[in-house]
Structure 1
Amino acid sequence: MYGVPVPREIHRSPALNAPDLAAVVDDLATRSVNYDEALAPPHVTDGWHQDRWTVVLGHEAPGEPEPDGIVAAADALVNGYEFTDPALLRAAYRHPADVVGRDMLLQGRFAMFRFHMGVRITAELDEVRAGADGPERVVGWAYQTLDGHLEQGRLTYEIVKDLTTGRVEFRIDAYSRRSEIRNPLFRAGFSMFGRHTQLRFYRAALARLADRLPHPPDPPAPDADGLVRVPTGAPPDRATWAEIHVVHPGR
């Protein structure tokens, strides 16, 4: 059903069999960001969740990041999207691909449901900015949600080094709200569990990046269909026969 181009209403139909991920990833190029940035933070804040999460990863010598230090290793993990908890979220994207403009298909996992949703990386960071204790080197990127996502919003993932003290942090800076969800079951489920699951994701992402940093995996490699699937080493599902896949559940 998913091996050839199909109408979007079929993409939204639940199915017991997994979709053709390569076809769904390629379809993301036709999708737009699903909200108006002029009506989102910082311009409009009513109705939006705004979150900022931080974990200290360690210390380098003061000054610019060391070539093989904590910043470089953490940035590689973030660039590969290796910091997600596979029990909550997995991702697939085309390889090779530039950072800005990269479309990623996220698979949110809740009970037996597998929600396939698109995001696009729209900004890459490599800059020095003023911090609380002095100048900071910031590297990372931000993605925005695409049409069909359960949420609307922007997530920014940053590796930040305080150039004065050498402290290195991983920061998540985000704004989000529930998308327009036509399916009443999914809408009710998201209203009950969406925010809780979102906060679990943030906490798990911080902890997982810190845990993987001492022994990072090899850079993710594409499978035979040209897709990179991350996080690397995610265990297979125990009962794939019971999965219910929903592609672009937010519309």
Structure 2
Amino acid sequence: MDEVRRPAWNIDVHRTALPAEPPGAPTPGGPWTQACRMVRDYEFSPPEIVRALYDPAAPLLGRDMLLEARFHALHFYCGVRVTEVVDETRDGTDHAWGWAYETLDGHLERGKVTYQVVKDGRTGAVEFLATCHSQGAPTLGPVTSLGWRLFGRRTQLRFYRRCGERMRHLVAAAMRGESVPARPPSTVDHLVYAPSDARAHRLDGLAVRRIAPG
């Protein structure tokens, strides 16, 4: 998009180094494969900040997801749609897999986020890569818009930092032979509530919930 440029948009690239593999193609059951699984199932998302509800039977490309953004006692429900799946070999050696979603009407933000796991086939280095361009949604009301300007960007950056920390922890645990995730995700009818350790808190009933917060 030609219109996506600073300062009107936030443009971010967040990289997290994961356990390495031997050079060459991805190792079966190795860090790259494990990290791809975490990305596929939205396990990397920190449940204290963002949770997701989606139909696992729906094809990944085109899948709609309902995100629950949690700002302390405020819970915002925002829709996104998976608009791109990344599955490619780059420069003949590097392997990348992941997907991207774009925000739908009623979201707190306007933009696109891409989550990828990339292996450098020459060195064996594996990294989790999150790239994003975003801005506050133009449809936000004055109160929500003020809140977004005051707290949204800070929370957004904390979210990406926690995603990286969580991904590193999950992959390291899987490589130690631990069962990751430790338990099946919660379900609502046929929908999955992710990540798998997202659980209702006794104080959630007191939270203020907003759907289509604009």
TM over 0.5: same fold? yes
SS at match of 1:39: coil
The Cα shift of 1:69 comes to: 1.0
For structure 2, the 5+ residue unaligned runs are 175-179
**Residue 161 of structure 1, aligned match among 119, 122, 126:** 119
What is the percentage of aligned positions where both structures have the same residue?
39
For 1:129, the equivalent position in structure 2 comes to: 90
**Residue 147 of structure 2, aligned match among 168, 189, 192:** 189
The Cα shift of 1:58 comes to: 1.1
RMSD: 1.8
Taking structure 1 as reference, are residues 152 and 128 closer, same or farther at Cα in structure 2, changes over 3 Å only? same
1:152-200: per-residue Cα shift (whole Å, max 9, x none)?
Answer: 1111101000000111100111111111244222111001001000000
**Residue 165 of structure 2, aligned match among 191, 207, 215:** 207
Larger Rg: 1
Distance (Å, rounded) in 2 between the aligned partners of 1:219 and 1:237: 17
Equivalent pairs, count: 208
Taking structure 1 as reference, are residues 78 and 220 closer, same or farther at Cα in structure 2, changes over 3 Å only? farther
Distance (Å, rounded) in 2 between the aligned partners of 1:38 and 1:248: 27
For 1:55, the equivalent position in structure 2 comes to: 16
Distance (Å, rounded) in 2 between the aligned partners of 1:224 and 1:47: 38
Distance (Å, rounded) in 2 between the aligned partners of 1:88 and 1:173: 18
Question: What is the 5 A alignment of 1:1-251?
Answer: 37-40=1-4, 44-130=5-91, 135-213=93-171, 214-215=173-174, 216-217=180-181, 223=187, 225-249=189-213, 251=214
Distance (Å, rounded) in 2 between the aligned partners of 1:223 and 1:145: 23
SS at match of 1:74: helix
Higher mean C-alpha deviation, range 182-191 or range 205-214: 182-191
SS at match of 1:59: coil
The Cα shift of 1:244 comes to: 1.0
Question: Is the Cα contact below 8 Å between 1:93 and 1:103 reproduced in 2?
Answer: yes
1:77-136: per-residue Cα shift (whole Å, max 9, x none)?
Answer: 100001111111110001311111011100000121110001111111111224xxx842
- Structure 1 stretches of 4+ moved >3 Å: 218-222
Taking structure 1 as reference, are residues 68 and 242 closer, same or farther at Cα in structure 2, changes over 3 Å only? same
Distance (Å, rounded) in 1 between the aligned partners of 2:184 and 2:84: 21
Higher mean C-alpha deviation, range 112-121 or range 180-189: 180-189
Distance (Å, rounded) in 2 between the aligned partners of 1:184 and 1:220: 40
For structure 1, the 5+ residue unaligned runs are 1-36
Question: Is the Cα contact below 8 Å between 2:108 and 2:140 reproduced in 1?
Answer: no
SS at match of 2:26: coil
2:84 corresponds to which letter in structure 1? A
